[in-house]
Structure 1
Amino acid sequence: MMWDDEFDVVCCGSGSGVLACAIAAADAELDVLLAQPRAESRHDADAPLLGPGIEDPETREYLDALSADVGSLPTGPNDVELTVRSVRAPAPPRPGSPIAPFYGARLRDWAVQCLLSPYGVLYTRLTDRETKVMQTATGEDIEVKVIGSVPSGAAAVSALDEWLTAQTRDRDIPTYENSALERIVFEEDEIVGVVLDTPEGSRAVRVRHGIAIAGRLNGPARGALPVGTPDGELEVGLVGHSASRFARVELLATDLSAESSRSEYCSSGPARDGGRSHVRHWRKADRNPPLG
Structure 2
Amino acid sequence: MTKSPYHIPVMLQPCIEGLAIDPNGVYLDLTFGGGGHAREILSKLDKGHLYGFDQDEDAIVNAPDDERFTFIHANFRDIKRFLRLYGVDEVDGILADLGISSHQIDEPSRGFSTRFAGDLDMRMNQSGNLTAADILNSYEERELHKILGQYGEIKNAKTLARAIVSERIQEPILTIDRFKAILDKFAPRGKEFKYYAQVFQALRITVNDEMGALRDMLEQSNELLRSKGRLVVMSYHSLEDRLVKNYINKGKFHGDVEKDFYGNQIRPLEPVNRKAITASPEEIAQNNRARSAKLRIAEKI
- Taking structure 2 as the reference length, the TM-score comes to 0.23
Of structures 1 and 2, the one scoring higher in RCO (CA 8 A, sep 6+) is 1
When you count strand as a share of all residues, which structure comes out higher?
A: 1
Task: Name the larger-Rg structure.
Answer: 2
Higher helix share: 2
